[in-house]
């Protein structure tokens, strides 16, 4: 019987996202669109990494507002608080507690090799704080507290997942099996979306050209405008080919949204101009985001309901994560508060 339940247990998948901006169309088509279906395949944990975000100075009002908006958006794209643990990291003190412990099992040299630390300390040279340096220990705590088996991450977070595995293995080798050693999970379905203004660069919230990035909460007219001004080439032929970065990107977006193959898109737009194609891509994106935006507006108008959800999420998260924290603390030799 025990064997049976073990077999039936779904793997645990966990991912956190920072509340530093409204997610972009790139975040959506690259990752978030696939998340709701994880809820059937895995036991899913999704969180908002607000503690991570303060490694870079944040405006207090904006941080609060963006946290609410991101929570509403996660629900709007289809994450269901009845199926997933959906929580805000700062509501679950166990994350900070385990992070401290893990700090003491992580080497200075290891953290110094993190490319994100090196990049961010150059970018924010006036604020190279300790949190920026120990960031991976907090991320490891996020993951290990829930005994996650798989962590869907973008390429930029792979090194942080590697160090999480190293920390877990180091701890386990001293104390026995306390933590599940997680695997990175790079979902196959995600599309890589480039900036509409400079299609050689990834679509990003930090694009210097605001026309390059579509946000999930952009209005239909803003979305249409951004697509109409998308950079293309002078060939005037809708086909996927080297050197046609702008058209390749629009085709990738169109295909991700409509499910049409590149061949089909090429034949549908044979003989048509880029104006028609850009309009079609813009309209397809508007239609794709319409139900998400409708839900988002409804949630944002019912903050009491949202608060109920994040409270429920935090309660479950605290319960689950406390089990792992207790186990780790006991192994280390801390005196238990309750005897």
Interface residue with ligand TRP among 12, 43, 44, 52 (CB under 6 A) is 52
Q: Which of 277, 271, 252, 272 is nearest to 262 (CA)?
A: 252
Q: Does 151 bind ligand TRP (CB under 6 A)?
A: yes
Q: Does 45 bind ligand TRP (CB under 6 A)?
A: no
Helices 130-145 and 94-103: angle between axes, nearest 10 degrees: 110
User: Segment contacting ligand TRP (CB under 6 A): 149-157, 220-228, 268-276, 326-334?
Assistant: 149-157
Both tokens of residue 65?
């507002």
CB of 15 to ligand TRP, least distance (A): 5
Q: Does 86 bind ligand TRP (CB under 6 A)?
A: no
- Comparing CB distances to ligand TRP, the nearer of 43 and 288 is 43
CB of 65 to ligand TRP, least distance (A): 19
- Comparing CB distances to ligand TRP, the nearer of 153 and 223 is 153
For the question of residue 202 being annotated catalytic, the response is yes
**How far is the first Cα of the chain from the last one, in angstroms, to the nearest whole number?**
32
Q: How far apart (Å, rounded) are the C-alpha atoms in residues 152 and 271? A: 40
CB of 190 to ligand TRP, least distance (A): 14
Interface residue with ligand TRP among 25, 32, 49, 102 (CB under 6 A) is 49
Interface residue with ligand TRP among 66, 103, 147, 157 (CB under 6 A) is 157
CB of 175 to ligand TRP, least distance (A): 22
- Comparing CB distances to ligand TRP, the nearer of 69 and 288 is 69
CB of 31 to ligand TRP, least distance (A): 10
- Comparing CB distances to ligand TRP, the nearer of 100 and 334 is 100
Q: How far apart (Å, rounded) are the C-alpha atoms in residues 43 and 39? A: 6
The footprint of ligand TRP on this chain (CB under 6 A) covers a number of residues equal to: 13
For the question of residue 205 being annotated catalytic, the response is yes
CB of 323 to ligand TRP, least distance (A): 18
Q: How far apart (Å, rounded) are the C-alpha atoms in residues 247 and 278? A: 9
- Comparing CB distances to ligand TRP, the nearer of 49 and 72 is 49
Of 205, 264, 272, 294, catalytic? 205
CB of 150 to ligand TRP, least distance (A): 10
User: Segment contacting ligand TRP (CB under 6 A): 5-13, 27-35, 150-158, 224-232?
Assistant: 150-158
**3-state SS track over the chain:** CHHHHHHHCCCEEEEEECCCCCCEHHHHHHCHHHHHHHHHHCEEEEEECHHHHCCCCCCHHHHHHHHHHHHHHHHHCCCCCCCCEEEEHHHCCHHHHHHHHHHCCCCHHHHHCCHHHHHHHHHCCCCCCHHHHHHHHHHHHHHHHCCCCEEECCHHHHHHHHHHHHHHHHHHHHHCCCCCCCEEECCCCCCCCECCCCCCCECCCCCCCHHHCCECCCCHHHHHHHHHCCCCCCCCCCCCCCCCHHHHHHHHHHHHHHCCCHHHHHHHCCCCCHHHHHHHHHHHHHHHHHHHHHHHHHHHCCHHHHHHHHHHHHHHHHHHHHHHHHHHHHHHCCCCCCC
Q: Which x/- pattern, by CB under 6 A, does the window 127-146 give for ligand TRP?
A: ------------x--xx---
Of 202, 211, 226, 244, catalytic? 202
Subset of residues 3 to 42 that bind ligand TRP, contact rule: CB under 6 A: 14-16, 18
Catalytic positions: 120, 202, 205
Question: What residues line the site for ligand TRP (CB under 6 A)?
Answer: 14-16, 18, 49, 52, 139, 142-143, 151, 153, 157, 160
């Amino acid at each position: 019987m025990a064997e049976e339940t073990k077999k039936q247990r779904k793997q645990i998948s966990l991912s956190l996202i920072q509340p530093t901006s409204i997610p972009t169309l790139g975040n959506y088509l690259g990752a978030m669109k696939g998340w709701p279906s994880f809820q059937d395949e895995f036991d899913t944990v999704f969180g908002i990494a607000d503690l991570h975000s303060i490694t870079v100075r944040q405006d207090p009002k904006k941080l609060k507002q963006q946290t609410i908006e991101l929570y509403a958006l996660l629900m709007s794209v289809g994450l269901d608080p009845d199926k997933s643990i959906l929580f805000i990291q700062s509501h679950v003190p166990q994350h900070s507690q385990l992070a401290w412990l893990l700090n003491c099992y992580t080497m200075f040299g290891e953290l110094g090799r993190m490319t994100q630390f090196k990049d961010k300390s150059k970018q924010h040279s006036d604020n190279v704080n300790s949190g920026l340096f120990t960031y991976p220990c907090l991320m490891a705590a996020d993951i290990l507290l829930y005994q996650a088996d798989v962590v869907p991450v973008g390429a930029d977070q792979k090194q942080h997942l590697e160090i999480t595995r190293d920390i877990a293995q180091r701890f386990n080798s001293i104390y026995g099996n306390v933590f599940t050693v997680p695997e990175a999970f790079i979902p196959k379905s995600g599309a890589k979306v480039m900036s509409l203004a400079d299609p050689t660069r990834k679509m990003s919230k930090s694009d210097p050209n605001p026309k390059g990035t579509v946000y999930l909460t952009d209005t239909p007219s803003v979305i249409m405008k951004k697509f109409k001004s998308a950079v293309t080439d002078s060939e005037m032929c809708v086909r996927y080919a080297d050197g046609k970065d702008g058209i390749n990107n629009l085709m990738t977006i169109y295909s991700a949204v409509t499910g049409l193959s590149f061949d089909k898109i090429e034949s549908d737009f044979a003989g048509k101009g880029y104006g028609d194609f850009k309009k079609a891509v813009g309209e397809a994106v508007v239609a794709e985001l319409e139900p998400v935006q409708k839900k988002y507006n409804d949630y944002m108008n019912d903050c009491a309901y949202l608060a109920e959800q994040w409270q429920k999420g935090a309660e479950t998260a605290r319960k689950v994560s406390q089990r792992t924290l207790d186990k780790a603390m006991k192994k280390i030799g801390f005196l238990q508060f309750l005897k």
